[in-house]
Structure 1
């Protein structure tokens, strides 16, 4: 049953002008309320410390980590084969004293994190709980 025999069917048309107006208002609102942050570069300040020298100096083991991954224990070059072998090197450097030595890590700024973590792991295996990192002091 077609009651509109004489009329042609009108195609619906979509008016985009109100849609564009609404989107423009939303865009202006978003631009006005959004804060833009620049994360293009990450600035890191290396640690520096000023501390008074204590009277009592515990036994220390100086470990230097160079930029190319070499290890030096108390002035003697040591190869890192495994954490267990490096722990033996640390025990040899500590001597036969029963005193728990202070491990002082002097890592180059360009040294990898893994090389420093290797020293920390070897100190843990050797049961040395006192570990510290050397820093540069800034001239006043």
Structure 2
């Protein structure tokens, strides 16, 4: 009977390809789950939403409603009448972003929405925290 001789394989090198694969998967997961919040200059404490979409907003105007109910158009304080005049000058296809503080009265939000509806603006985004 012949004896089987077991040979021991010596490890001179470490195979790093599986390690690199795992690191790339982790990198992709981190990059896809990371959120980047674009905050304005006016301090607005945004309400939270469970679902949200992020869109490319290159041509946009921003309307703010702060906790005291004051309305801002592009960081400039305005009354609702002046806001309506400024929004009337904006193209209907241009995106309007509404940043309303969660502590503001719902009536202030509805007043701004009513102006947008009256003027026919349909490209509207309401900013929330996820």
Please state which band the TM-score falls in when normalised by the shorter chain. Answer: 0.5 to 0.7
Aligned counterparts of 1:127 and 1:74: Cα–Cα separation in 2 = 19
Query: Corresponding residue for 1:87?
Result: 84
Q: 1:57 Cα deviation (Å)?
A: 3.2
**2:120 equivalent among 124, 127, 137:** 127
Residues 50 and 123 of structure 1, relative CA distance in 2, 3 Å threshold: closer
Name stretches of at least 5 consecutive residues in structure 1 with no aligned partner.
1-44
Q: Is the 8 A contact 1:104 1:132 kept in 2?
A: yes
For the pair shown, the structure with the greater C-alpha radius of gyration is 1
Q: Is the 8 A contact 1:88 1:126 kept in 2?
A: no
Residues 74 and 48 of structure 1, relative CA distance in 2, 3 Å threshold: farther
Divergent runs of 4+, >6 A: none
- Classify the secondary structure of the residue corresponding to 1:114: helix
Q: 1:121 Cα deviation (Å)?
A: 0.7
Residues 99 and 49 of structure 1, relative CA distance in 2, 3 Å threshold: same
Q: Is the 8 A contact 1:71 1:77 kept in 2?
A: yes
Q: Is the 8 A contact 2:60 2:96 kept in 1?
A: yes
Query: Corresponding residue for 1:61?
Result: 61
Name stretches of at least 5 consecutive residues in structure 2 with no aligned partner.
1-46
**2:48 equivalent among 39, 46, 49:** 46
Q: CA RMSD for the aligned pairs? A: 2.4
Aligned counterparts of 1:126 and 1:135: Cα–Cα separation in 2 = 24
Aligned counterparts of 2:93 and 2:52: Cα–Cα separation in 1 = 25
Query: Corresponding residue for 1:104?
Result: 97
Aligned counterparts of 2:83 and 2:122: Cα–Cα separation in 1 = 16
Q: 1:100 Cα deviation (Å)?
A: 1.2
